[in-house]
Amino acid sequence: MIFLSSGGTVYGSCKIQPVDENVMPCPINHYGNLKLCMENTMRTFNYQFHTNIIIARISNPYGPGQDFRKGVGFIDAALKNTIQGIPIEIWGDGENVRDYIYIKDVCGVLTKLIEYQGKEDTFNISSGIGITQNGILEKIRNMGLHPDVIYYEGRSVDVKHIVLDNRKSMSLYKGSLMSLEEGLSAYYRFLKMKCM
């Protein structure tokens, strides 16, 4: 069994980046606390009943299947709103840093974790590269698109900077991850093909 956790919210605010799996989690919001509580429950099962539950701490996945209206997915919101001519809402100055990974790559790493038979129980799944929300918007502009943005006051529940160390999971995957530019273009083509 693989439990899909949340890398950014579980770790909270960390001074040393990228954050590896040995860092003490310190969530700053309820969502991260709940994810960490579920992780610890999985570890209890592993310890008491000798199960083999793997915890996958996924950074910020994006791509086909995501729906930002459910509360997550900045790239999803940015591309869909740009295509529809709707302003993109950013809480803060747009300088919060996140680590985005294309969903196809997430699935590739998870496939390797299914086959994993080692003793480790926690793996970060990420690109290992951080970028701001404003940086994402700039890349969308470089695609010839024209996003409209509205900035609101920042929220205390948002981590300012989180990039995950993916060396452990990539030692299993051994594949190359899609670059952010490639992922944005692929997702944009997908959305245009689906006509939203």
141's enclosing H/E stretch is: helix 133-142
183's enclosing H/E stretch is: helix 180-194
41's enclosing H/E stretch is: helix 30-49
pLDDT in tens, 39-58: 999 999 999 999 999 999 99
The tokens of 96 are what?
A: 């919060």
Dist CA 40 CA 23 (whole Å): 15
Q: Choosing from 31, 62, 100, 116, which is the catalytic residue?
A: 31
pLDDT in tens, 56-75: 999 999 999 999 988 789 99
The pLDDT score that the predictor gives to residue 196 is: 55
Averaged pLDDT of the chain: 95
pLDDT in tens, 126-141: 999 999 999 999 999 9
Q: Has residue 195 got a pLDDT over 90?
A: no
The pLDDT score that the predictor gives to residue 126 is: 98
- Structural domains in the chain plus CATH codes: 2-194 (3.40.50.720)
* 152 in catalytic set: no
120 within 8 A of 53, measured Cβ to Cβ: no
Beta carbons within 8 Å of 77's beta carbon, 6+ residues apart: 68, 88, 89
pLDDT in tens, 105-125: 999 999 999 999 999 999 999
